[in-house]
Amino acid sequence: MIRQFFRFFILLFLITACEEIVNEENISNDTVQLLAPSNEAVLATKQKIAFNWEVLGGANRYQLQIATPDFVTATQIQLDTLVSRTDFTIDSLIARSYEWRVKGMNSAHETGYSANIFTVE
């Protein structure tokens, strides 16, 4: 009896979980619009840096990454984080070139990355 109940519970859970994935909006062809720092921005050292992007309908979290000098020739990934908001602030970065990128995600789909380069002087 307990074994049958356990099987029923697992089956019910799987059906419910699959239904949530099927109902997720397909955002894979959408684009996250980056706001700041804008492409080729020059920022001062020793200041907080706020990264901002527009809300993407259907996304419930975003992956934010920062690399130096860029992602193609990265010598270091400065940040790789998941956030549920459309902003993220870091205390400061040392003087050099960076690339930051964001992609939107939900439980079933994700966008491609949107990226900007910037320099800290």
Q: Could you state, in chain order, the average pLDDT of each consecutive group of 10 residues for the chain (121 residues)?
A: 59 51 87 98 93 98 98 96 98 95 97 98 95
Quote the pLDDT of residue 15. Answer: 52
Quote the pLDDT of residue 19. Answer: 47
Largest CA distance in the chain: 69
67: region left, alpha or beta (phi > 0 left; psi from -120 to 50 alpha): beta
Is domain 26-120 annotated with CATH 3.40.250.10?
no
Length of the chain: 121
Q: Where are the domains of the chain?
A: 26-120
The whole-model pTM stands at 0.81
